[in-house]
């Protein structure tokens, strides 16, 4: 599977699997199908309301319930579904920034504006060619917005997000210095642990381990992954109830 290496704000490199062109095409077709079925439903309701007998009513309802949803479908879903549309959600793919963080509203807006070029006259051929040639999973709108589309990892029976569950009251933290870390630091650690678990990427957890040890003045012989899991559990335990 093709991947993209992104550099986080913590200067840590993490590999993300890129969404394949096939996944993106299927997601697009699912979204088109949903829109088609929605429009059929709206037209059926308009027929029942005899809207076609009143030109003013027809134009008003058509603009509000057909034209606007067709225009803003992708933009609004990506904004409110954190980089996904129903089609993308079904295919388990998501829009993110090139630094691995969620895209901004401005980024989604640029992607939407340039979709006219990507999916316009040639029906998506431009987008497919640019994605295939670019190597970063970016269509023109992504290049302008600084985004790409990645494949979300399959959830395993054990997920590193489980460590965010508040430990039992009897849990004794190992490294009390973790209170100096921020929530953002913990999110970066979790992302690196997920990358290690799902894709075998080992370098990020090694780099982060050394940075954490240096930052907090910790000396530990624990393996990197075990050390980072302990750090997050300790942080979660010590900051619970804040």
The 3 state secondary structure assigned to 161-185 is: HHHHCCCCCCCCCCCHHHHHCCHHH
Tokens standing for residue 161 = 């997000």
Length of the chain: 242
User: How confident is the model at residue 102, as a pLDDT?
Assistant: 83
User: How confident is the model at residue 52, as a pLDDT?
Assistant: 86
Torsion of CA 211, 212, 213, 214, to 10 degrees: 50
Closest among 188, 156, 157, 168 to 236, alpha carbons compared? 168
The residue assigned the tokens 């979204």 is: 31
Rounded Cα distance, 216 and 178, in Å: 7
In the beta sheet, which residues pair with residue 97?
147
Rounded Cα distance, 202 and 14, in Å: 10
Is the full-model pTM beyond 0.75?
no
User: Residue 146, Cα to own-chain centre: how many angstroms?
Assistant: 13
In terms of Cβ atoms closer than 10 Å to its own Cβ (0-12, 13-18, 19+), residue 87 is buried
Whether the Cβ atoms of residue 155 and residue 145 lie closer than 8 Å to each other: no
In degrees and rounded to multiples of 5, residue 18 shows phi and psi of: -75, 145
Apex 12 CA angle, 9 and 213, nearest 5: 105
Closest among 91, 75, 101, 106 to 12, alpha carbons compared? 101
Rounded Cα distance, 151 and 129, in Å: 19
- Digit-by-digit pLDDT tens for the chain (242 residues) are 688 776 655 455 566 789 999 999 999 999 999 999 999 999 999 998 888 888 898 999 999 999 999 999 999 999 999 999 999 999 999 999 887 778 999 999 999 999 999 998 778 899 999 999 988 899 999 999 999 999 986 544 434 444 444 455 677 889 999 999 998 899 899 888 887 776 667 788 989 999 999 999 999 988 888 899 899 988 988 887 55
Rounded Cα distance, 131 and 109, in Å: 19
């Amino acid at each position: 599977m093709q991947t993209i290496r992104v550099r986080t704000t913590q200067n840590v490199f993490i590999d993300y699997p890129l969404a394949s062109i096939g996944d993106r095409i299927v997601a697009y077709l699912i979204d088109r199908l949903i829109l088609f079925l929605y429009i059929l439903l709206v037209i059926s309701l308009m027929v029942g309301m005899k809207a076609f007998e009143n030109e003013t009513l027809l134009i008003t309802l058509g603009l509000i319930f057909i034209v606007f949803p067709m225009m803003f479908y992708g933009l609004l879903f990506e904004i409110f579904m954190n980089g996904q549309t129903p089609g993308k959600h079904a295919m388990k793919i998501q829009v993110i920034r090139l630094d691995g963080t969620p895209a901004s509203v401005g980024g989604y807006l640029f992607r939407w504006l340039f979709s006219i070029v990507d999916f316009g006259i040639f029906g998506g051929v431009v987008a497919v060619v640019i994605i295939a040639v670019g190597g970063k999973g970016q269509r023109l709108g992504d290049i302008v917005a600084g985004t790409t589309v990645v494949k979300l990892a399959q959830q395993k029976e054990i997920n590193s997000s489980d460590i965010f569950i508040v430990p039992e009251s009897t849990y004794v933290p190992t490294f009390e210095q973790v209170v100096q870390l921020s929530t953002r630091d913990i999110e970066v650690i979790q992302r690196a642990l997920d990358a290690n678990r799902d894709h075998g990427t080992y370098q990020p957890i090694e780099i982060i381990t050394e940075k954490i040890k240096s930052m907090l003045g910790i000396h530990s012989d624990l393996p990197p992954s075990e050390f980072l899991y302990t750090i997050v559990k300790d942080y979660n335990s010590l900051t619970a109830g804040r």
